[in-house]
Amino acid sequence: MSKKSTTPFVAAAAGCAVMVLAAVCAWPVSAGTVEVAAMTEMKEPLTKQAGDADKGKGVFSNRKLGNCLACHKLEALKAQPFHGEVGPPLDGVASRYSMAELRLRVVDPKALNPDTIMPSFYKSEGFHRVLKKFEGKSVLTAQQVEDLLAYLATLKE
């Protein structure tokens, strides 16, 4: 075959390969039996006990627990110093998201956005280079997550 007759063939073969690759990459990725591509909320609470908004406010503002102010600004806590600007402001967050959506954002934000720098507050596996004393532990307990969500639910516009 001459060089002129192989060029259209090579171009067509490369085009088909790109289309097949695009189709394969568009399929939902599965994590166990849950499709990650379809995961946008976590409806079931982590505990049987309802969250306590007052305790959740403490989790939110405590620098050793949720430490939410390190990345987010919140006018309701403007007396607290050093509000972050890395994440979006959380004023009115309960008016923008359902409890189920907020729960997933706190428990495993990477399920929504794999590139986020927000940590997973109730995940204990799948991390790399974890100190031994933190292996198998989540940042927050299940009850602390539900308390935090109860506080976030009070933040309406």
In one-letter notation, the amino acid at residue 72 is H
pLDDT at residue 5 in the model: 53
pLDDT at residue 2 in the model: 53
What does the buried/exposed string (b/e) look like for 81-110 if buried means 16 or more CB atoms within 10 Å of the residue's CB?
eebeeebeebbebbeebebebbbbbbbbbe
- State the pTM of this model: 0.70
Whole-number Å distance between alpha carbons of 117 and 44: 25
Q: 39-152, which class in CATH? A: mainly alpha
Where are the chain's structural domains? 1-36, 39-152
Q: How far apart are the first and last CA of the chain?
A: 70
Residue pLDDT tens, the chain, 157 long: 555 555 554 444 444 443 433 333 333 433 333 344 456 777 888 889 999 999 999 998 888 888 888 889 888 888 888 888 888 888 999 999 899 999 988 988 888 888 888 888 887 777 777 788 787 778 889 899 999 999 999 999 8
pLDDT at residue 27 in the model: 38
pLDDT at residue 53 in the model: 94
pLDDT at residue 81 in the model: 81
Q: What is the pLDDT of residues 48-73, one digit of tens each?
A: 999 999 999 999 888 888 888 888 98
pLDDT at residue 38 in the model: 52
Handedness of CA 45, 50, 56, 58 (dihedral sign): negative
